[in-house]
């Protein structure tokens, strides 16, 4: 990958396995919109992304190379060799999913943002999840510029009541959001443990939060802690397991089950029935 900084933009060339449209719209993250045939706009944390793809080059507008290196490079997991991982998949369904949705990467989100987002995701559909998160940021996040708002801090949310959160129209999830914010702001959830401790211990710690069960915990581990072996099982992945892998997951997924899961999830969700 070549990185150049020109006119307050960062331009990437020779990037392998990166489709930002797929990556940012495959159920990992909920704050990005395709704004034209070749550009995308959104916010992660408190950083605005304005990305255009031209002739295989990726242009990060209004971005310094320092911002790119410290934020977007880890965010898009550019330090990981997806080509090599995909090449190691010798399962026919997984190969098909990777071929059809080539360029999906696992994004590394802020842990609190992932936690809050996936609490909101429970028993919910993606269009509505996006709406709730948009209202969350507009009502309680700091304005960055234009219509872009930062994801609200856990401290800010922890100081609110369920009634305050009713503007979100998130229903029963409001109390879960508050508990997650309180446990994050008070450091009762220790990021060090979630990222580095034995994964079973990290799971248990996350599930002490009200409204966090196995699925949400797994999503936080995968998208908010960089644990690429975490394996979130929602209704779609459940279908995949029942229909394609009744005797268990193939060996080639070992260690990177979360990455495999992302391709399979998006593939299965885009097939009727």
Partner DNA sequence: AGCCAGGGTCTGC
Partner DNA sequence: GCAGACCATGGC
Active site members: 215
Helix H or strand E encompassing 103: none
Of 11 and 256, the one with the shorter C-beta distance to DNA is 256
> 48 φ, ψ to 5°?
-90, 135
Shortest distance in whole angstroms from residue 207 CB to DNA: 7
In this structure, are residues 117 and 129 in contact, taking their beta carbons and an 8 Å threshold? yes
CB of 230 to DNA, least distance (A): 10
Q: Which is nearer to DNA, 74 or 214 (CB)?
A: 214
Written as six digits, the tokens of 63 are 């971005």
User: Which residues, in sequence order, are bridge partners of residue 49?
Assistant: 42
Q: Which is nearer to DNA, 87 or 235 (CB)?
A: 235
Helix axis angle, 214-224 relative to 111-120, nearest 10°? 150
Nearer to DNA, 1 or 235 (CB): 235
Query: At closest approach, how far in Å is the CB of 101 from DNA?
Result: 12
Q: How far is the CB of 29 from DNA (least distance, A)?
A: 9
What is the full DSSP assignment across 15-81? --S--HHHHTTSSS---EEEEETTEEEEEETTEEEEEEEETTEEEETT--HHHIIIIIHHHTTTTS-
List residues near DNA by CB under 7 A.
26-28, 118, 121-129, 131, 166, 169-172, 207, 210-217, 219, 232-237, 261-262, 265, 269
CA distance 162 to 257: 36
């Amino acid at each position: 990958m070549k990185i150049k900084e020109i006119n307050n933009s960062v331009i990437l060339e020779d990037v392998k396995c990166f489709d930002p449209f797929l990556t940012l719209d495959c159920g990992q993250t909920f704050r990005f919109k395709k704004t034209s045939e070749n550009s995308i706009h959104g916010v992660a944390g408190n950083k605005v992304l304005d990305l255009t793809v031209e002739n295989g080059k990726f242009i990060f507008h209004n971005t310094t190379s320092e911002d790119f290196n410290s934020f977007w490079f880890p965010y898009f997991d550019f330090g990981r060799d997806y080509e090599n991982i995909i090449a190691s998949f010798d399962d026919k369904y997984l190969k098909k999913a990777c071929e059809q949705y080539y360029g999906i990467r696992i994004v590394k989100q802020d842990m609190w943002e992932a936690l809050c987002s996936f609490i909101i995701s429970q028993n919910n559909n993606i269009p509505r999840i996006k709406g709730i998160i948009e209202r969350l940021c507009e009502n309680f996040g700091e304005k960055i510029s234009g219509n872009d708002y930062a994801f609200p801090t856990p401290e800010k949310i922890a100081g609110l009541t369920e009634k305050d959160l009713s503007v979100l129209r998130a229903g029963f999830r409001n109390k879960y959001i508050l508990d997650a914010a309180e446990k994050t702001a008070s450091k009762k959830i220790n990021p060090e443990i979630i990222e580095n401790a034995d994964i079973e211990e990290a799971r248990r710690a996350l599930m002490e939060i009200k409204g966090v069960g196995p699925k949400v915990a797994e999503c936080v581990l995968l998208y908010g802690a960089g644990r690429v072996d975490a394996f979130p099982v929602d209704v779609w992945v459940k279908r995949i397991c029942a229909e394609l892998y009744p005797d268990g997951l193939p060996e080639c997924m070992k260690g990177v089950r979360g990455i495999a899961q992302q391709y399979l999830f998006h593939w299965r969700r885009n097939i009727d029935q």
